[in-house]
Amino acid sequence: MAEPAARRGGFGLLVVAGLATAALTGVAAGKPWFRAGVDASLRAAVSDRDRAADMPLALALALVVLAGWGVLLVTRARVRRAVAAVALLAGLGVVACVVAAPFTLPDQVREQLPGATAQTSVSPTGWFVTAAVAALLSVVVLALAWVRSPGWPTMSSRYDAPATRAASGDGTDLWKALDEGHDPTDSAAPPSP
């Protein structure tokens, strides 16, 4: 019997939103967040890499969030909640990187440019804005996942090892049962001595 949608806590919608925001945050975190405006005469002398700065820590944390969503799909109750908490902390770390970036990255770009002064124009890119919005949305979705994940459906236990087969590690109990004429796979058979 299918679980009611209210009990699952919006499982499908939250997973899709979580994966989408985490992936978008990861892509945006891997791009330059701040870029210097250089006049045409200096563009030939300065590479694009030297005119821009990114935040590698944000990319690493965004990948932790994305991996967390993968783990959330295959775990159960308590472990799922713990993974959601770790992913939420990583998401908050990305938000912290976004907050710190305007204070650190413009100066980093100016240091990379030859002859740059404090008046050299450095501005945020669209990727910075995208990362900021996606990181905030990701944190909201992760907080909802942390709250609702215990009610989410779990993967099928059809392929889990049965608890009744906790025989000794060397398999001698199974051989003894076979020697006595019992089928060890038959649940109605008497247990082996």
Query: Residue 162: what pLDDT?
Result: 61
Q: Is the dihedral of CA 137, 142, 144, 149 positive or negative?
A: positive
Q: Fill in the DSSP letter of residue 53.
A: E
Confidence at 116, pLDDT banded by 50, 70, 90: low
Phi-psi region of 172 (alpha: psi -120 to 50; beta: other; left: phi over 0): alpha
Query: Residue 27: what pLDDT?
Result: 96
Residues 106-135 have a mean pLDDT of 84
Residue with tokens 């003894």: 176
DSSP SS3 for 31: coil
Query: Residue 156: what pLDDT?
Result: 62
User: Phi/psi of residue 124, each to 5°?
Assistant: -70, 150
**Residue range 137-184, pLDDT digits in tens:** 999 999 999 988 878 777 666 555 665 445 445 667 778 878 888 887
Q: Is the pLDDT of residue 103 over 60?
A: yes
Q: Pick 30 or 157 by higher pLDDT.
A: 30
Query: Residue 75: what pLDDT?
Result: 84
User: Phi/psi of residue 127, each to 5°?
Assistant: -65, -35
Tokens representing residue 4 in the block: 């009611």
Instruction: Give the domain ranges of the chain.
Output: 5-151, 164-193
pTM above 0.75, yes or no: no
How many whole angstroms separate alpha carbon 156 and alpha carbon 154? 6
Query: Residue 78: what pLDDT?
Result: 84
**Residue range 33-88, pLDDT digits in tens:** 998 876 555 555 566 666 688 899 999 999 999 999 999 888 887 888 999 999 99
How many whole angstroms separate alpha carbon 18 and alpha carbon 90? 13
Residues 11-31 have a mean pLDDT of 92
Query: Residue 167: what pLDDT?
Result: 46
Distances (CA, A) of 31 to 49, 126, 159: 11, 10, 42
